[in-house]
């Protein structure tokens, strides 16, 4: 061991370095995280403004034209129908945003119970009044364990998408099978537009909508699938899909069986 004394200030320099290097890295990490949060928030606000702009512009024009005395009864009815559609679009956007915010903030807790999945599927299908929807549940399917209302919202969103992106009168199948002792898989299969391969990786992103000429006139908020993903994960499940552009899509998610609970 050398007895050479430290140079003046050397001990202080070593101590300063030892303490400040980790602290500096932590500050840099915090700064990077804050920058990412600001970028995410800016993007969210930009996308939200874009989503609000179209229905509000349409509403403004329709309400203005409704004030014209020269409109016929049929023309007035057409503009009123357009106003109703845009108001419903805004309501859907607001409800989805509130649900997403509550889920991400941990405020929308699942209240799981044991319930009959087949009964819930038939109940949700009844809301659409569509003869094209068919259900094929596995015989003797066990009760599942989850928040019944949240599962119904997942089904509503998946069925709405299947109908929206399918030709008129095209058949849409809903099914449920037992994957294992503890897991039930629920799926919605359509023969509609399908999803281009280059868009599939972003499908569950908030506000993301596929940009393709074959769906240019189809409206939507781009929130349905991101909401489905959060709701499924809130049940302790997994969501996924298989799709071929031009040949349809199959979306599926898993639920725990009641016996597992």
* pLDDT tens-place string over residues 129-147: 777 899 988 888 999 999 9
Backbone phi, psi, residue 186, to 5°: -115, 135
Same domain, 23 and 137: no
Pick 148 or 217 by higher pLDDT. 148
CATH at 34? 1.10.287.130
Same domain, 46 and 94: yes
Same domain, 95 and 120: no
Query: pTM for this structure?
Result: 0.63
Residue 165 structural domain: 113-260
pLDDT of residue 3: 53
Tens of pLDDT, residue by residue over 19-53, are 445 568 777 777 777 776 666 556 556 556 655 66
| pLDDT above 70 (res 85) | yes
Same domain, 81 and 16: yes
Same domain, 92 and 122: no
| pLDDT above 50 (res 14) | no
Residue 5, domain member (yes or no): no
What domain count does the chain have? 2
Same domain, 128 and 47: no
Residue 97, domain member (yes or no): yes
Pick 198 or 1 by higher pLDDT. 198
Q: Report d(CA 107, CA 112) in Å as an integer.
A: 15
Same domain, 162 and 55: no
Residue 1, domain member (yes or no): no
Same domain, 139 and 228: yes
Q: What percent of the chain has pLDDT over 70?
A: 70
Same domain, 34 and 149: no
> Alpha carbon of 79 to those of 66, 91, 256: distances in Å?
7, 18, 47
pLDDT, average across residues 69-88: 82
Rounded mean pLDDT of the chain?
78
pLDDT, average across residues 47-73: 74
Exposure string (b/e) for 214-240, b if CB count within 10 Å is 16 or more?
ebeeeebbbbbbbbbbbbbebbebebe
Tokens 């800016």 -> residue: 42
Exposure string (b/e) for 95-114, b if CB count within 10 Å is 16 or more?
ebbebbeebeeeebebebee
Same domain, 243 and 126: yes
| pLDDT above 90 (res 79) | no
Same domain, 166 and 223: yes
pLDDT, average across residues 182-195: 92
Strands 133-137 and 172-178: parallel
Q: Report d(CA 143, CA 137) in Å as an integer.
A: 12
């Amino acid at each position: 061991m050398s007895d050479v004394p430290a140079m003046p200030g050397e001990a202080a320099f070593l101590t300063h370095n030892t303490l400040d290097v980790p602290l500096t890295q932590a500050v840099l990490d915090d700064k990077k995280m804050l920058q990412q949060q600001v970028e995410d928030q800016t993007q969210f606000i930009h996308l939200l403004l874009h989503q609000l702009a179209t229905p509000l512009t349409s509403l403004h024009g329709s309400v203005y034209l409704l004030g014209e005395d020269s409109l016929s009864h049929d023309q007035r009815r057409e503009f009123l129908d357009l106003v109703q559609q845009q108001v419903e679009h805004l309501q859907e956007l607001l409800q989805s945003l509130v649900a997403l915010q509550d889920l991400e903030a941990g405020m929308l807790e699942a209240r799981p119970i044991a319930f009959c999945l087949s009964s819930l599927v038939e109940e949700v299908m009844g809301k659409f009044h569509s003869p094209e929807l068919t259900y094929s549940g596995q015989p003797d399917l066990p009760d599942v364990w989850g928040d019944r209302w949240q599962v119904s919202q997942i089904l509503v969103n998946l069925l709405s998408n299947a109908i929206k992106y399918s030709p008129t009168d095209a058949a849409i199948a809903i099914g449920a099978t037992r994957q294992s002792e503890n897991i039930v898989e629920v799926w919605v299969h359509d023969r509609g537009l399908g999803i281009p391969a280059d868009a599939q990786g972003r499908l569950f992103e908030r506000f993301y909508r596929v940009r393709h000429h074959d769906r240019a006139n189809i409206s939507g908020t781009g929130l349905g699938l991101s909401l489905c993903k959060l709701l499924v994960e809130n049940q302790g499940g997994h969501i996924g899909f298989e799709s071929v552009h031009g040949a349809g899509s199959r979306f599926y998610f898993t639920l725990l069986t009641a016996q597992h609970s």
